[in-house]
Amino acid sequence: MNRFRKIVRIVWPLAGLTFMVWLWLSFRAQNLPEGVMDSDTAVTVTETRQTITFQPTNPSTTGLIFYPGAMVEPTAYAPLARTLAEAGYLTIIVKLPWGTAPLASHEAQLWQTTQAHMAAASEVQQWVLSGHSRGAAIAARTVFEHEDSFAGLVLIGTSHPKEAAYSLANAQLLIAKIYATEDGLASPAEVEALRLYLPDAAEMVEIEGGNHAQFGYYGTQLGDSAATISRDRQQAETAAFLLTFLSNLTP
């Protein structure tokens, strides 16, 4: 028995450490297209401690702010952001404080950063807020509290808003939700059950065969299901809808 306990004392912490390392590696950006973070004649890419900005050479009057998923390396969303920027839309990935913005004070800090970057982009006349997973949940709460600051909201891979206290059912801006049939963290059934907290006119976009993690370029995620389409296809369908959404808002 004593020997068994000694083995447990050794193996248990080792297993825990192994799991934490795997989790950390899983949320790192993976398999990014070559050059996606490089500036060129069409897009200037700038990364700071708080943001990654994709600045088009010839910007539209509409821009997009994007909040990443919890603990996901923000560059995992660079391919999507660059695609939007190449079409002329200034796109700013705003990093979540502590990687997940766990406290209300962190969400307030995130909003301050967002406001500052919106104010600095004088060429942009209207903004769309978007995000994936926890980033989308925070985006929904941000629009609930600051609706007048945005022309649109696109929620990706989330069932939020989940409660009447943050209902967007009466919101006046354009709202869309993109979800995937194989998403194990925001299932179609859950998305549909919480549809009542979005406006009747909100557009619901289903990606057949997609899952949760393929909305970004990172590894597998606990609780997620296996996708039956490629990451590239899921990304292309997501980008195509976002481009349509943005173009419909742009004069």
What residue ranges do the domains of the chain occupy? 31-249
Mean of pLDDT values over 169-197: 97
Cβ pair 209, 245 in contact under 8 A: no
Mean pLDDT of the chain, nearest integer? 92
pLDDT bucket at 16, cuts 50 / 70 / 90: very low
**Alpha carbons 127 and 105: distance in angstroms, whole number:** 23
Q: What is the pLDDT of residue 9?
A: 53
Confidence of residue 184 (pLDDT cuts 50, 70, 90): very high
Strands 91-94 and 51-56 come out as antiparallel
Three-point CA angle 56, 62, 65, nearest 5°: 80
As a whole number, mean pLDDT of residues 167-190 equals 97
Q: Is the confidence at residue 24, as pLDDT, over 80?
A: no
Whether the per-residue pLDDT at 219 is higher than 50: the answer is yes
pLDDT (mean) for 217-228:
94
Residue 55 has pLDDT above 80, yes or no: yes
Rounded to two decimals, the pTM is: 0.91
The Cα–Cα gap between 14 and 19 comes to: 9
Q: Residue 13: what pLDDT? A: 52
pLDDT more than 70, % of the chain: 90
Q: Residue 15: pLDDT above 90?
A: no
3-state SS record for 53-114:
EEEECCCCCEEEEEECCCCCCHHHHHHHHHHHHHCCCCEEEECCHHHCCCCHHHHHHHHHHH
* Per-residue confidence (pLDDT) for residue 5, from 0 to 100: 54
Confirm if 94 and 65 have CB atoms less than 8 A apart: yes
State residue 250's pLDDT score. Answer: 78
CA-based nearest residue to 244, from 168, 146, 150, 178: 178
What's the CATH architecture for 31-249? 3-Layer(aba) Sandwich (3.40)
